[in-house]
A and B are shown apart, each in its own frame.
Chain A
């Protein structure tokens, strides 16, 4: 597996406080990599260290196998970056800004014009290309931010909280654009919104207080052995008493009853289901519905963060 971004033992101190604390992570080439953590976890600081805007206290950053140092211009050609709050020149139009961004990479005029046209279409700003950026909505600015990050046809795109300030429609539009990049570029995407990561990422790293608490593929994360939930809705409320008797079973963590609804938390889902089926059969309990709750990333996140704390 080829690694696009590798971070080893990265530390960033601010007045003795660890904003980033011995962080290690590897972003596989071609993946959409979710960088997840609550506000203040150190995501923006880490991204800024990757793009050379902030100096690490210690540790190493490699981009495509080459070490990056603070202030060096290495990697500029192959990286596209969207900061958490992108600042544009409001007097420019979107088209002018993209041409200006491309010119900073010395992209030949013809290639640049074609690229700008393509990007404006990708981020759905073709109709607004000649309007001043100062008149744009937040969502439009964010889409323009993604376009400018892609102007140099980068191999790696670093997106810092690209949807956190957007309304649901704006979020969906931006997430669709990011998803459309899958397979074409490596996307390293920071967020504190779990559902976004769940929707588009192949791999995820969770950080809290600057420390990595979990890093794995989305598939593996969903399969993490954990306490699973079984939800049952009964026809008769009083039948819940029979189910409550299962609490003695060592594999059952807890049973919660709310009228005719019962939630069983268990460490061994299959065993619990067998036990439950037996009770249902022997006590002739009428069941309206029964289902196993999917593990959400939120559950994993909370567990990882709480465990770490």
Chain B
């Protein structure tokens, strides 16, 4: 169980330091920008390359969500890098020892960091969905398509996986920089594995390919349990592995 007082401090830290503001700004910006970009892509292309005969089909609401998922996958790297600092920064600064010498076990400490990350990500995800949904509805007259709830859920689940990955890298990295680099390489490898939507089903970070597949109708919704299971398993394995390393770590 997380230590509630430590969890409270973790959540407060997101509001009191720039990291919370950076994430919130990015999520809101792309939530607003995604439907706008989708709606006016033809006009934007015409404005910047009027001499080229590029004509895109009339944008639809699915294009708005396609743009949303594309942009959100990019923001995940920022979220991951921020998460890779949650423990390594405390180790680097020395604040971890002031907490762990009080009545907070290493398990309490690590799970509080993880839960705080999940809460923050969930709030950001919800805010961005609401904003993007409202703008999509405003620009396209509708916002819902079949497969949207499961796509959003899979994206949320990938956020949870990235939270676990960030915490794991934060445990194994000796400094915030080394944790961030490890996180970056981890992200790059997972992106390469997502190239095919069939492989992506088994990749805990395969949500971007899968939601594209859902939008294109190339993925059978009945197969999504594979993706959900692999993401949950990946999350649990990373957390447990991270905890076993953290438990033996000398601070």
Contact = CB atoms under 8 A, between A and B. Distances in A.
Q: Say whether A and B bind each other.
A: yes
Interface of A: 48, 51-55, 71, 73, 76-77, 79, 81, 83, 85-89, 91-92, 100-101, 103-106, 148, 152
Nearest to B247: A71
Give the 7 A-B residue pairs with the shortest CB-CB distance, closest first: A87-B94, A87-B93, A87-B95, A103-B5, A104-B102, A91-B16, A81-B101
Interface stretch (B30-38, B67-75, B103-111, B132-140): B103-111
A79 B104 CA distance: 13
Interface string B1-43: 0010110010001001100000000000000000000000000
B63 interface: no
A19 B153 CA distance: 52
B102 A101 contact: yes
Residue among B98, B102, B104 with most chain A CB within 10 A:
B102
A53 B99 CA distance: 11
Contacts of B47: none
Contacts of B16: 91-92
A92 B99 CA distance: 14
A83 B101 CA distance: 10
B220 interface: no
Contacts of A101: 98, 102
A53 B95 contact: no
Contact of A73 (B95, B98, B103, B250): B103
B86 to A, nearest CB: 13
Contacts of B189: none
* Overall SS of chain A's interface: loop
Given A71-B248, A88-B98, 19 more contacts: A53-B101, A53-B250, A55-B250, A71-B106, A73-B103, A79-B101, A81-B97, A83-B97, A86-B98, A87-B93, A87-B95, A87-B97, A87-B98, A89-B95, A91-B17, A100-B9, A104-B102, A105-B103, A148-B98
11 contacts: A48-B250, A52-B101, A54-B251, A81-B101, A83-B94, A83-B98, A87-B98, A89-B13, A91-B13, A101-B98, A106-B5
B102 A76 contact: yes
A126 B99 CA distance: 23
Nearest to A84: B94
Nearest to B102: A104
A53 B9 contact: no
A106 B6 CA distance: 11
Nearest to B251: A53
Contacts, number: 68
A99 to B, nearest CB: 9
Nearest to A85: B94
A89 B95 CA distance: 7
B6 to A, nearest CB: 7
Interface of B: 3, 5-6, 9, 13, 16-17, 90, 93-106, 247-248, 250-251
Contacts of B101: 51-53, 76, 79, 81
Nearest to A100: B9
B250 A77 contact: no
Contacts of A91: 13, 16-17
Contacts of B96: 87
Contacts of A81: 97-98, 101
Given A73-B103, A73-B105, A104 B3 contact: yes
A104 B99 CA distance: 8
B85 to A, nearest CB: 14
A92 B8 CA distance: 13
A91 B95 CA distance: 13
A216 B62 CA distance: 80
A85 B248 CA distance: 22
Contacts of B250: 48, 53-55
Contacts of A88: 95, 98
Nearest to A76: B103
Contacts of A89: 9, 13, 95
Contacts of B102: 76, 101, 104-105, 152
A105 B102 CA distance: 6
Residue among A71, A87, A152 with most chain B CB within 10 A:
A87
Nearest to A151: B102
Contacts of A53: 97, 100-101, 250-251
Contacts of A79: 101
Contacts of B95: 87-89
A104 B13 contact: no
A130 to B, nearest CB: 14
A153 to B, nearest CB: 13
Contacts of A106: 5, 103
A237 B93 CA distance: 60
Nearest to A54: B250
Contacts of B103: 73, 76-77, 104-106
A83 B248 CA distance: 20
